[in-house]
Chain A
Amino acid sequence: MSKTQIKEKEENETPMVKVYIMGSSHEVPASLTIMKAIEYAGFKIKRGAGCRAGFCGACATVYRKAGDYRIYAALACQTQVEDGMVLTQLPFVPAPKAKYDINKLSPTGNTILQFYPEVARCLSCNACSKVCPQDIHVMDYVQYSLQGQIKKAAEESFDCVQCGLCTIRCPAEIPQYHVATLVRRLHGKYEMKSPDTLEARVEEIEAGFYEEGFNELMKLSKDELRHKYFHERDFIDQKKA
């Protein structure tokens, strides 16, 4: 099959768009995500694909559109191609992560400044928030962190997939997504106390409270288990009560 025949065949099946992958033009089906379009065009991705579902941040993509001065950013696995997109993938983000012993910290603004003093350099330009593919108000949580509002910072940053686009855009050179990890851990550990029921259950288990029950269940044949499962699943609870 000649090159033109291949092209015609594909065109009959689905509308195509032209995108530029690192400057080279490629015709790809209009229905694809950026990630699938890159693969369709012949690239076997090594860096730039992870979960392929919008959770891991491996596929941060920066692009421009024809006739538009703006810089856009997206996750390649979660964004459909458009005609005229000029795409590049971010293979890696060099962002220093502070090392700390979470057991020896307090949930305060000073802790944040101790490990990430650069948060004080925030210019409030909001470039981080504008670039975030999760639409997180990144600048806001940087400011909350600086102010020691750990809970607000943790909650605002919660949906972060750590793609690093904010860090690449930041003129103050703040590694926002690492700051976010620290504030979430501080909040999760020091400000969200576990209910007593958890500790009580752990103590019961460690004291062997359930051993006899386990032994009884583990001795049952498959048929006995089946009967218990389908007809008596509440019995254990009643017995305990």
Chain B
Amino acid sequence: MKMIDGYPDYMRKSIENVNKTRAKRLNEVKTDLTEAERKEVLDNYHPDYNPKFKRDISWGPNKGDNVPNEVVDILEAYPTVHPDDVDLSQIDYDVGVLVIGAGGAGNSAALWALYEGVPADQILIVTKLRLGDCNTVMAQGGIQAADRPEDSPLIHYLDAIGGGHFDNKPELVKALVGDAPKIIKWHKELGMMYDQNEDGSFLEISGGGTSRNRMHCSKDYTGMEIFRTLKDEVINKEIPYLEFSPAVELLTDETGRIAGAVLYNVETKQYFIVRSKITVLSTGGFGRLHVAGFPTTNHYGATADGVVMAYRAGAKLRNLESTQFHPTGAAFPEQIVGLLITEKVRSMGGQVLGRDGEQICYPLEPRDVEASSLIKCCTSTDNYIETPTGMRGIWLDSPLIDEIHGKGTVEKNLSAMFRMMKRFGINISKDPILVYPTLHYQNGGVEIDENCYTSLNGLLVAGEISGGVHGMNRLMGNSLLEINVFGRRAGITAAKEYKKKVKLSGKLTLDHVRKVMKILDSLDLKEKRYSPIILPEYRSDAVRDRLVQLYEQEPTW
């Protein structure tokens, strides 16, 4: 196949269309959809609204909820570590506050627990991979905070709740938008480099579904800048953390209060027992379950382990019927299919175009509407571009950004995107990017209140694992905000609980897990599955067909 500047020869004709129409499109405004039009694209093209990708949860507090098959699969699964295989009388770590998951929410929670008076040695962070292998670090576009005079937290509230189809929990949205400026202030005190204009004001842009410019950003490495600073601070403050040691099950005391967790060291395959007075679950989302067969933008460990653990312990879930597909994942080249092309490309003026080089829709609808419009174009019209591997995509006109903001803007303000595509021979300041929606975010999760309490005693939840903040659809820039707002709140609540000097009652138990196993036995499941799955499986079939286990087995029973 002949390639010209990173794209196959045959795509060049369509790219010429894009180049030809650019001058005309510079001032062309595509209007956003009406409520009825939004409903039409969602109902017909969004995977959430397609019954074949979903089924009902068969047991537990959310029995009957219609959620993605992949979520039901991990809930209708036996424990990866059998309760009989662990000795709960040997406590390896005895702490005040256990934080499970070391992404943005977990690190914020640990830092705020410390700020609020929990001694560092009474905190323990545990994480599946390294400190910082999380979705936070890969969030690119920005973080919303209504801090300009022409904006208001109340407008941010309306944007967020409208984007979420009015199914968000109001008190959570209030917390989200009301704390936002405080979070930016905290970040600045820590020394994060948010982009500023020459006059010293923050560079703030808009995102899909926002009615004001309130997206603060650090080029297109916003999440990375936030996370590496939080990580630096956690290490400076000497908060203990265990890497490569995911929690695989929550523990309770004899009253049923959550009282710690079983950890599994993925390298040595040992288990460890943590007893804790307060447990913060901040394990992130489910991208690596590949809901509805989509590729994902998510990090390697995003397998919804926390949802499984919490549900087995009896926690109530919410809004898991809703999955976020980011409108613009890479569709070409094949090596990076599904990786995120930040919404900031559209925030800065990038338009979405069909094969003919004409705009197919308003580029900044809320994400579910935008993704549905793109899927519609690729499945019910012939105005798409097909890749050599048969994938369909549409153009995202990145060169338009340089036309609007001046030469060099793409390379400077979208340096991560520019660099990624350049690695595969494509210059996105000259040529458009081929995109298709990709699995991005778990909109729902474990239900929380505004102080991160769950329906379970002793368990706090924060971050992408939680449900209720975003209703049925999250807006751009509200996830980096969420992990900080609710991570902080979880830390503050944990410190408050810690100071109550809670006494755990009696021995640690996994009785709740045994009960779940009995329920599963009664369900007549067609396939015996195990969860949490910890890491997704990407080895080739040819290898997996020949796997044998010597001396040790996975799982252990």
Interface residues of A (CB under 8 A from B): 6, 10, 31-33, 36, 39-47, 49-56, 58, 78-80, 97, 99-103, 134-135, 154, 158-159, 161-162, 181, 184-190, 192-195, 197-202, 205, 210, 213-214, 217-218, 222, 225-226, 228-230, 233-234, 236-237, 240
Apart from the given pairs A79-B423, A189-B190, 12 other A-B contacts in the complex at a CB distance below 8 Å: A10-B542, A41-B540, A42-B540, A46-B129, A46-B266, A47-B244, A55-B224, A97-B232, A99-B236, A102-B236, A210-B154, A217-B157
Q: Tell me if B311 counts as interface (CB < 8 A to partner A).
A: no
Option from A39, A162, A233 in Cβ contact (under 8 Å) with B540: A39
Q: Which residue of A lies closest to B167 (CB)?
A: A222
- CA–CA, A158 to B150, complex, Å? 31
Supposing A187-B191, A198-B202, A210-B178 touch, asked if A46 and B267 sit within 8 A by C-beta, the answer is yes
- CA–CA, A102 to B111, complex, Å? 14
Are A42 and B539 neighbours in the complex by a CB distance under 8 Å? yes
- CA–CA, A51 to B155, complex, Å? 33
- CA–CA, A200 to B149, complex, Å? 9
Q: Tell me if B383 counts as interface (CB < 8 A to partner A).
A: no
Query: Chain B residues with Cβ under 8 A from A234's Cβ?
Result: 211
* A–B pairs, 21, beta carbons within 8 Å: A44-B535, A50-B133, A51-B133, A51-B299, A52-B339, A53-B339, A53-B420, A55-B416, A56-B138, A78-B336, A189-B188, A192-B194, A192-B196, A195-B202, A202-B182, A210-B154, A213-B152, A217-B154, A229-B162, A229-B166, A240-B152
Supposing A46-B267, A55-B138 touch, asked if A184 and B147 sit within 8 A by C-beta, the answer is no
Minimum Cβ distance to chain A for residue B422 (Å): 9
Are B152 and A186 neighbours in the complex by a CB distance under 8 Å? no
Interface residues of B (CB under 8 A from A): 34-35, 129-130, 132-135, 137-138, 146-155, 157-159, 161-162, 166, 170-171, 174, 178, 181-182, 184-185, 188-194, 196, 200-202, 211, 218-219, 221, 223-225, 228-229, 232-233, 235-236, 238, 244, 266-267, 297, 299-300, 334-336, 339-340, 415-416, 419-420, 423-424, 535, 537-540, 542-543
Which of A39, A55, A217, A228 has the most chain B CB atoms closer than 10 A to its own CB? A55
Q: Which residue of B lies closest to A39 (CB)?
A: B538
- CA–CA, A79 to B134, complex, Å? 21
Minimum Cβ distance to chain B for residue A216 (Å): 9
Are B540 and A134 neighbours in the complex by a CB distance under 8 Å? no
Query: Chain A residues with Cβ under 8 A from B35's Cβ?
Result: 226, 230
Q: Which residue of B lies closest to A160 (CB)?
A: B228
Q: Which residue of A lies closest to B537 (CB)?
A: A44
Option from A31, A39, A229 in Cβ contact (under 8 Å) with B335: A31
Could you count the A-B residue pairs with CB atoms below 8 Å apart for me: how many are there?
A: 226
Q: What 10 A-B pairs have minimum CB-CB distances, sorted nearest first?
A: A185-B191, A189-B191, A229-B162, A42-B543, A188-B191, A50-B133, A188-B193, A39-B538, A218-B170, A222-B166
Query: Chain B residues with Cβ under 8 A from A31's Cβ?
Result: 334-335
Query: Chain A residues with Cβ under 8 A from B225's Cβ?
Result: 158, 184
- CA–CA, A116 to B133, complex, Å? 26
Are A43 and B539 neighbours in the complex by a CB distance under 8 Å? yes
Option from A6, A50, A200, A236 in Cβ contact (under 8 Å) with B129: A50
Which of A99, A198, A234 has the most chain B CB atoms closer than 10 A to its own CB? A198
Option from A44, A102, A198 in Cβ contact (under 8 Å) with B184: A198
Option from B133, B149, B185 in Cβ contact (under 8 Å) with A199: B185
- CA–CA, A101 to B236, complex, Å? 7
Q: Which residue of A lies closest to B129 (CB)?
A: A50
Are A44 and B539 neighbours in the complex by a CB distance under 8 Å? yes
Supposing A55-B224, A218-B174, A230-B35 touch, asked if A158 and B219 sit within 8 A by C-beta, the answer is yes
Are A41 and B152 neighbours in the complex by a CB distance under 8 Å? no
Are A54 and B420 neighbours in the complex by a CB distance under 8 Å? yes
Are B244 and A46 neighbours in the complex by a CB distance under 8 Å? yes
- CA–CA, A49 to B288, complex, Å? 13
Query: Chain B residues with Cβ under 8 A from A51's Cβ?
Result: 133-135, 137-138, 299-300
Are B232 and A201 neighbours in the complex by a CB distance under 8 Å? no
- CA–CA, A188 to B232, complex, Å? 14
Query: Chain B residues with Cβ under 8 A from A225's Cβ?
Result: 158, 161-162, 166
Query: Chain A residues with Cβ under 8 A from B154's Cβ?
Result: 210, 213-214, 217, 236
Q: Which residue of A lies closest to B184 (CB)?
A: A198
Supposing A50-B129, A99-B238, A205-B178 touch, asked if A237 and B150 sit within 8 A by C-beta, the answer is yes
Query: Chain B residues with Cβ under 8 A from A99's Cβ?
Result: 235-236, 238
Option from A56, A79, A214, A218 in Cβ contact (under 8 Å) with B132: A56
Query: Chain B residues with Cβ under 8 A from A197's Cβ?
Result: 147-149, 201
- CA–CA, A131 to B197, complex, Å? 33
Option from B138, B157, B191, B336 in Cβ contact (under 8 Å) with A214: B157
Supposing A158-B221, A187-B193, A230-B35 touch, asked if A50 and B299 sit within 8 A by C-beta, the answer is yes
Query: Chain B residues with Cβ under 8 A from A32's Cβ?
Result: 335
- CA–CA, A43 to B540, complex, Å? 9
Which of A39, A50, A100, A159 has the most chain B CB atoms closer than 10 A to its own CB? A50
Q: Which residue of B lies closest to A217 (CB)?
A: B157
- CA–CA, A91 to B130, complex, Å? 11
Query: Chain A residues with Cβ under 8 A from B161's Cβ?
Result: 217, 225, 229
Which of A56, A100, A154 has the most chain B CB atoms closer than 10 A to its own CB? A56
Q: Which residue of B lies closest to A196 (CB)?
A: B200
Are A185 and B190 neighbours in the complex by a CB distance under 8 Å? yes
Supposing A135-B419, A201-B146, A202-B182 touch, asked if A36 and B538 sit within 8 A by C-beta, the answer is yes
